[in-house]
Amino acid sequence: MTDGHLLEVENLHATAGGGEVVRGVDLTVRSGEVHVIMGPNGSGKSTLAHALMGRPGTTVTEGSVRLDGVELVGLPAWRRARAGLFLALQQPIEVPGVLLDATMAEALAPLGAGPPDRGALSDRLRQEAAAIGFDERFLSRALNVDLSGGERKRNEVLQLGVLRPPFCVLDEIDSGLDVDAVRAVARRIESATGEWGLGVVAVTHFHRLLRELRADHVHVLVAGKVVASGGPELAEELEHTGYAAYASPT
Ligand SMILES: Nc1ncnc2c1ncn2[C@@H]1O[C@H](COP(=O)(O)OP(=O)(O)OP(=O)(O)O)[C@@H](O)[C@H]1O
Ligand SMILES: [Mg+2]
């Protein structure tokens, strides 16, 4: 296991569509840790994920995101990916004309000593596909084109397994997945925390994901701020109580 990586989010403020949506978030994630973010619809979870990755359309107005001491705010998404951050979108988009296997080869090249061995990459893609029940036929297709919602989610996890970044942000990776897929995907991510010390920030609405993915910390995001943090029991509690107890911070 590789450890010793550190992702530090400090007083992060971000706007989307002209309004401030993320309003001062602090988060420290170490290698192998799983941080879960829960919160009502529209509370800013996806915007937080986008701000961490530098998705165009989201602007950081204050605060910092450091990976092993390197400031990511201001860098384009591809530089953040190269620095070791991975984002699985809530709604993965179709990228016509861009092949999955070729994309993985290109993404891996700068991380190793040049282009990866084709046979080794092909084996790795197949292994990852098998682990989460992703149809091998999709491996040589254009990214997400004509895939179902659940297949796209599995595709994100497949890419995570192939790229093996130090940190990932998973935006509702469990939404749209059938029960068996949720279990397989959660197990794959959990094993990655041990295999290479993957640090995880996982946004979810359901504590079901956490049956297989062991959460170290659960944070509740309301109106762009973390209003409560706790252990996995907090996720369970929220399933029963909802967010009524958490008034919007001013
Ligand atoms: N590009 C945008 N233009 C206008 N408003 C936006 C934009 N992006 C986000 N917002 C607004 O910011 C708020 C937070 O949105 P966000 O997608 O971050 O919520 P969320 O917590 O991920 O919700 P959900 O649980 O439904 O996925 C919402 O009110 C949303 O309408
Ligand atoms: Mg969202």
* Distance linking the first and last C-alpha atoms of the chain: 42
**Structural domains in the chain?**
6-95+167-241 (3.40.50.300)
The answer to whether the beta carbons of residues 160 and 89 sit under 8 Å apart is no
Question: Which ligand neighbours the alpha carbon of 25 most closely?
Answer: 1
Q: Whose CA is nearest to atom 26 of ligand 1?
A: 41
Eight-class DSSP state of 172: S
Q: At what angle do helices 149-163 and 118-132 cross, to 10 degrees?
A: 130
Question: What spacing in Å lies between the alpha carbon of 40 and ligand 1's midpoint?
Answer: 11
Q: Whose CA is nearest to atom 31 of ligand 1?
A: 42
Q: How many residues does the chain have?
A: 250
> Is residue 17 within 6 Å of ligand 1 at its C-beta?
yes
Pocket probe mutation, ligand 1, options 21, 59, 222, max atoms within 8 Å of Cβ: 21
The atom number, within ligand 1, closest to the CA of 39 reads: 21
Three-state DSSP at 87 gives: strand
> Is residue 250 within 6 Å of ligand 1 at its C-beta?
no
Q: Whose CA is nearest to atom 13 of ligand 1?
A: 42
Query: pLDDT at position 48, please?
Result: 98
Q: Which residues pair with 143 in a beta bridge?
A: 95
> Is residue 84 within 6 Å of ligand 1 at its C-beta?
no
> Is residue 228 within 6 Å of ligand 1 at its C-beta?
no
Query: pLDDT at position 27, please?
Result: 98
Question: Which ligand neighbours the alpha carbon of 40 most closely?
Answer: 1
Three-state DSSP at 53 gives: helix
Distances (CA, A) of 128 to 4, 97, 102, 192: 25, 22, 16, 11
> Is residue 57 within 6 Å of ligand 1 at its C-beta?
yes
pLDDT tens for the chain, 250 residues long, are 445 999 999 999 999 999 999 999 999 999 999 999 999 999 999 999 999 999 999 999 999 999 999 999 999 999 999 999 999 999 999 999 999 999 999 999 887 767 788 899 999 999 999 999 999 999 989 999 999 999 999 999 999 999 999 999 999 999 999 999 999 999 999 999 999 999 999 999 999 999 999 999 999 999 999 999 999 999 999 989 999 999 777 7
Query: pLDDT at position 1, please?
Result: 47
Question: What spacing in Å lies between the alpha carbon of 44 and ligand 2's midpoint?
Answer: 7
Concatenated DSSP letters for 102-167? Answer: HHHHHHHTTTTTSSPPHHHHHHHHHHHHHHHT--GGGGGSEETTT--HHHHHHHHHHHHHHH--SE
Question: Which ligand neighbours the alpha carbon of 90 most closely?
Answer: 2
> Is residue 56 within 6 Å of ligand 1 at its C-beta?
no
